[in-house]
């Protein structure tokens, strides 16, 4: 409950009525800075372990949660082999800005990490990927350099993205229940901002950004989010309910634009639009387009998809005329940096390469010792990266040169490169421009190493291992 002394009116802010063994939620503390209150909401799984904590900001004048504010948090999965210290020093300003620190001490090496949601920016050496095992974001400025070419960090530990797309070296977009954006992805996790999306929160399935001026996100509740200014914050996105109650698959868009979205709950149903930002009415069922797991449209006149053992190709995406061929492998992902190169990967290290995908001619081999390859992304005809097992990035600077040109390197090593104990900490803050990470650290040993967090007006200050730092927040008023 909350109230303002100026009017004495008591308001219900939050309540939980469905707590059980697997999911329990509660409020563990509150911070006041009239006319705002910040509640620290916590959840836990008493059955399997783990949980999370996040900051909710309420306006006591109305009793309503300001979903554009707050959001600092920490995820505490039960299998990471450590203890989650949660949030500490929750700070709130009288204009609604907030900040928090979280820390996790890793006490045993991680054995569950792997690469996922791999995306490489066109005509560059920049790649980003998610590590669902530790909820880390991995960034490579030079993926061919081996382990030294990759860095990792927590990207908002409570709300990590499930899908990533980099339409250029200076723009990467992520999608989870929120939208993430960075105009300097090579700079690591502190360059990313997160904003709430319109509509009800639902987990993202995929994101396709054929250019810096168009992104399409699909969700598990049948909705899509689109933007012609994907780094423009929450107000730059529009939501549409495409198929209520149906999970959607990964979107595929060309620069025309022409987009395709499979209905994951209805076999062989694919929606298409030449006006993806035009709302639900701009999408129709494409009767000639086969269902797919993954796809790529390197030009406006060429699209390639994979679905199980099938590879499908069209040279006329607008008409939906596709040619299919069957392979002996299960394929999960395809990437086409140009009309003269497509690479598809799948189970048991299956690798299919075509230098003339429009003709339907493919060469098959296996790589990475037969370990399954979950996804692939090609920045150019001379750089492709595949996500292999055991946290391996499988990289080739000559993708059509055969299996010997693909080199596997374990790039996921866990915090502090696997050293234990390891303290992972973060300074997060929310203001009028979204939720930011202002500091991210991994130090061997027991912390804290980020200390002295204070908020004076809109100036946020702290110490990074003894070195003072500060930033100026933007007032929401």
- For residue 157, the model assigns a pLDDT of 61
Q: How far apart are CA 461 and CA 464, in angstroms?
A: 10
Distance CA 34, CA 401 (A): 65
- Residue 404 domain flag: yes
Residue 82 has what pLDDT?
Answer: 42
Same domain, 281 and 334: no
Does residue 277 sit in the same domain as residue 159? Answer: yes
User: Do 115 and 186 share a domain, yes or no?
Assistant: no
Regarding whether 328 and 316 lie in a shared domain, the answer is: yes
Last residue of a domain, one of 392, 413, 434: 413
- Do residue 169 and residue 277 come from a single domain? yes
| 255 located within any domain | yes
CB atoms near residue 43 (< 10 Å) = 18
DSSP states of 123-158: TSS-EEEEETTTTEEEEES-GGGGGGGEEEEES-TT
**Domain range holding 48?**
2-108+417-472
Task: Say which CATH number the domain at 118 has.
Answer: 2.130.10.10
**Which of these three, 257, 287, 317, is where a domain ends?**
287
Does residue 160 fall inside a structural domain? yes
The closest of 345, 386, 383 to 366, measured between CA atoms, is: 345
Q: What is the pLDDT of residue 44?
A: 81
Kindly state whether residues 423 and 366 are assigned to the same domain. no
On whether residue 273 sits in a domain, the answer given is: yes
Total count of domains within the chain = 3
User: Would you say 70 and 40 are in contact if contact means Cβ atoms under 8 Å apart?
Assistant: no
Residue given tokens 């070195």 in the structure block: 467
| Residues 389 and 409 both lie in one domain | yes
Measured CA to CA, the distance from residue 284 to residue 402 in angstroms comes to: 40
Same domain, 160 and 196: yes
Q: Is residue 47 part of a domain?
A: yes
Task: With a cut of 50, list the residues of the chain below it in pLDDT.
Answer: 79-83
CB 239 within 8 A of CB 199: yes
The answer as to whether 477 is a domain residue is: no
Q: Which of 241, 268, 287 is the last residue of a domain?
A: 287
Pair (406, 348) in one structural domain: yes
Exposed / middle / buried, residue 214 (Cβ in 10 Å: 0-12, 13-18, 19+):
buried
With respect to residue 201, please indicate whether it lies within any of the assigned structural domains. yes
Instruction: Please say whether the beta carbons of 385 and 164 come within 8 A.
Output: no
Say yes or no: 250 and 307 in one domain: no
Same domain? 11 vs 67 = yes
Per the listing, tokens 């993430």 go with 180
Going from the C-alpha of 126 to that of each of 365, 380, 415, the distances in angstroms are 26, 11, 21
Q: State whether 315 and 303 are in the same domain.
A: yes
Q: Is the pTM of this model over 0.85?
A: yes
Does residue 392 belong to any structural domain of this protein? yes
Backbone angles phi, psi at 348, to 5 degrees: 55, 35
The answer for residues whose C-beta is within 8 angstroms of residue 168's C-beta and 6 or more apart is 121, 122, 124, 212
């Amino acid at each position: 409950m909350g109230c303002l002394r100026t009017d004495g009116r008591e308001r219900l802010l939050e309540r939980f009525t469905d707590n059980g063994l697997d999911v329990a939620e509660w409020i563990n503390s509150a911070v006041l800075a009239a006319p705002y209150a910040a509640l620290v909401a916590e959840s836990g799984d008493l059955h399997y372990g783990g949980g999370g904590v996040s900051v909710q900001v309420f306006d006591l004048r109305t009793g309503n949660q300001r979903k554009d504010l707050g959001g600092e948090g920490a995820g505490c999965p039960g299998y990471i082999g450590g203890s989650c210290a949660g949030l500490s020093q929750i700070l709130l300003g009288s204009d609604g800005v907030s900040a928090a620190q979280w820390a996790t001490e890793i006490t045993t090496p991680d054995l569950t990490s792997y690469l996922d949601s791999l995306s490489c920016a066109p005509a560059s050496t920049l790649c980003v990927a998610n590590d669902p095992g530790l909820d880390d974001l991995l960034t490579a400025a030079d993926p061919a350099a081996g382990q030294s070419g990759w860095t990792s960090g927590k990207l908002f530990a409570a709300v990590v993205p499930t899908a990533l797309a980099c339409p250029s070296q200076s723009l990467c977009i992520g999608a989870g229940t929120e939208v993430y954006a960075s105009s300097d992805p090579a700079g690591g996790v502190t360059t990313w901002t997160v904003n709430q999306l319109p509509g009800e929160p639902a987990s993202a399935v995929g994101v396709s950004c054929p250019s810096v001026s168009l992104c399409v996100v699909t969700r598990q509740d049948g909705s899509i989010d689109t933007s012609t200014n994907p780094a423009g914050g929450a107000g730059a996105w529009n939501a549409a309910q495409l198929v209520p109650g149906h999970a959607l698959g990964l979107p595929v868009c060309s620069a025309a634009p022409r987009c395709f979205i499979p209905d994951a709950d209805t076999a062989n149903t694919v929606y298409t639009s030449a006006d993806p930002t035009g709302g639900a009415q701009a999408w129709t069922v494409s009767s000639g387009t086969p269902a797919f797991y993954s796809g790529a449209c390197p030009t406006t006149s060429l699209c390639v998809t994979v679905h199980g053992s099938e590879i499908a190709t069209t040279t006329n995406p607008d008409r939906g005329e596709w040619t299919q061929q069957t392979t002996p492998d299960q394929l999960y992902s395809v990437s086409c940096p140009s009309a003269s190169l497509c690479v598809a990967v799948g189970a048991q290290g299956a690798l299919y390469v075509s230098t003339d995908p429009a003709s339907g001619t493919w060469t098959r081999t296996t790589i990475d010792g037969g370990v399954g390859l979950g996804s692939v992304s090609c920045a150019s005809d001379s750089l492709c990266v595949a996500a292999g097992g055991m946290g391996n990035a499988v990289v080739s600077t000559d993708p059509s040169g055969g299996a010997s040109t693909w080199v596997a390197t374990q790039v996921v090593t866990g915090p502090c490169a696997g050293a234990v104990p390891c303290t992972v900490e973060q300074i997060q803050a929310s203001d009028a421009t979204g939720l930011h990470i202002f500091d991210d650290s991994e130090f061997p040993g027991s912390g804290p190493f980020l200390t002295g967090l204070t908020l004076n007006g809109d100036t946020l200050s702290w110490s990074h291992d003894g070195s003072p730092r500060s930033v100026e927040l933007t007032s929401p008023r």
